[in-house]
Chain A
């Protein structure tokens, strides 16, 4: 009686009834397989951390881990380097024009990663459009390998990462109070000083969030390194697949997956600290 309730509130039993089916599915299809993965990494006839010890001393795993960090951080930096000017450009547009440009920015977000991978091969591959053009101009002597190597992975990666970076930075640029700039100008500050002293520092939260989102998204990449990288560009996700299908070592595969899960969990937590946990759509595609 003392507890307040309202006519628009469901009774606890009704609520439970409505929540039960989805909860059951999520426990069965999400929590159970995650638990099974952890279990498989720890139990192989008996309980042990052997799989993790082996991983830590495996040159393959360490190399793949280094690749993963190099590619994720490299891709993020390139994405920041290009994303920031795009965000500046968008922020400087009148709203209608900005919407039009934003459609272009969001386009890759809607199209299949496979379509984009295929197209990138068709454009940047050895027989791709750019090399066809270079060969034509140079009379057949010039061919720049841009696919199936590190460059290819980074190209594919930033095509996927850029929209997230741009939107994140744009958010903080649009929130920036333009009167600050006006004030600085009236005090005689030049454009460079305004950028360094006002625009850049005030957009740093957006930059930080964008960087974290990019690293989080790229750390679990699977399709892009598999299709656009070479043998040397294997990332952690590809290693999971490699252990699962090539060597049939499910214990190692599980341990690798758990390592990735922890890594990405830490990044998500960090990102959650920086801003709300929303906006992480499609983590690890």
Chain B
């Protein structure tokens, strides 16, 4: 998945970070290809910021090696790594105008006055904010400030742009606009971007590749499709999208066909990607949109009654309470004239066995 054909922009080799007793990051190996848009996704405290700050050089690793653009950068000072960074709170210089803010990294690189003027103009053009060049950051809206801080990064064409939850302070609508804008800039400029978020939708929208973090480790990485359709752990399945998880014991038939014995019945399932032995505990994952309300018993279906139905615009979600007290979510497309399901009505939740996915059970605790 790591696009090994193109040379790596960043390579982490066994990088770990401890704060006293706290293992903020366990030994992590990660490679980011040139031009790639990689997202670090994970719950708060999972080590995303730590990983980003290690690459930026704001903290030094407890062990391991960091290679940036083919150069060992493990102990290289921050200001010599040639990176760009966008912060959640913008980090624009309050005492400088927008122009001066964007010109700052060019000044550092000792460009001529004329060249600075031209490049800042182009950068402002790119984010369509040419008219605010002479204002101070505090006179701008949050969204504008974040675009300025993007322009300040883009203007000096760094090898890699790091973004730590850059849209966290914006409201939903603006956030969606900015997601598209960042994607557009990435496509137009081809700069490598490493983006941190705890928002799965944002990660799915923007990334070439998602690196899912959990407790200071990489849980799974891959394209948004891979993470969504082929999660390898219960954590991945639960963190991205919503899931129905049915625990049970694995059975392997004489023909090698897998099935799971659960409290709700025995369900056939495709063979798992990582072998699970017969008799072992496992979890069957079925995405809500792969389940449907059915009237009659089908090969994979569970009886229950509708506890609640909620309308989410284009889709409807039914919450079905099963006989053993567990609950399943069914998501169906909303159609005009759809006959509504009623609360308390007895139904069956059905799915195609090939849409099920066997996962190793979640680690205890």
Contact = CB atoms under 8 A, between A and B. Distances in A.
Interface in A6-23: 6-8
B60 interface: yes
Interface in B67-106: 77-78
Contact of B57 (A1, A2, A4, A7): A7
| Residue of A5, A6, A7, A8 with most partner-chain B CB within 10 A | A7
B134 interface: no
Do most interface residues of chain B lie in helix, strand or loop, or is the interface mixed?
loop
Contacts, number: 20
A4 B59 contact: yes
A1 B61 contact: yes
A5 B63 CA distance: 14
B20 to A, nearest CB: 9
Interface in B109-145: none
B58 A7 contact: yes
A1 B56 contact: no
Q: Is the interface of A mostly helix, strand, loop or mixed?
A: loop
Nearest to B74: A1
Contacts of B56: 7
Interface string B1-37: 0000000000000000011000000000000000000
Contacts of B61: 1
A5 B77 CA distance: 11
A5 B59 contact: yes
A4 B63 CA distance: 12
B62 A6 contact: no
Contacts of B63: 1
B87 to A, nearest CB: 13
A226 B60 CA distance: 61
Contacts of A8: 58
A12 to B, nearest CB: 14
A2 B23 CA distance: 12
A4 B56 CA distance: 14
B61 to A, nearest CB: 7
B58 A6 contact: yes
A69 B166 CA distance: 63
Nearest to B57: A7
Contacts of A6: 58-59
B78 A1 contact: no
Interface string B40-58: 0000000000000000111
A85 to B, nearest CB: 44
Contacts of B60: 1, 4-5
A5 to B, nearest CB: 6
A1 B19 CA distance: 12
A145 B77 CA distance: 73
A5 B54 CA distance: 11
A4 B17 CA distance: 9
B133 to A, nearest CB: 28
Contacts of B58: 6-8
Interface in B257-298: none
A5 B57 CA distance: 10
Closest 5 pairs between A and B when the two form their complex, measured CB to CB: A7-B58, A7-B78, A6-B58, A2-B62, A4-B59
20 contacts: A1-B60, A1-B61, A1-B62, A1-B63, A2-B18, A2-B62, A4-B19, A4-B59, A4-B60, A5-B59, A5-B60, A6-B58, A6-B59, A7-B56, A7-B57, A7-B58, A7-B59, A7-B77, A7-B78, A8-B58
Interface of B: 18-19, 56-63, 77-78
Given A5-B59, A5-B60, A7-B58, 15 more contacts: A1-B60, A1-B61, A1-B62, A1-B63, A2-B18, A2-B62, A4-B19, A4-B59, A6-B58, A6-B59, A7-B56, A7-B57, A7-B77, A7-B78, A8-B58
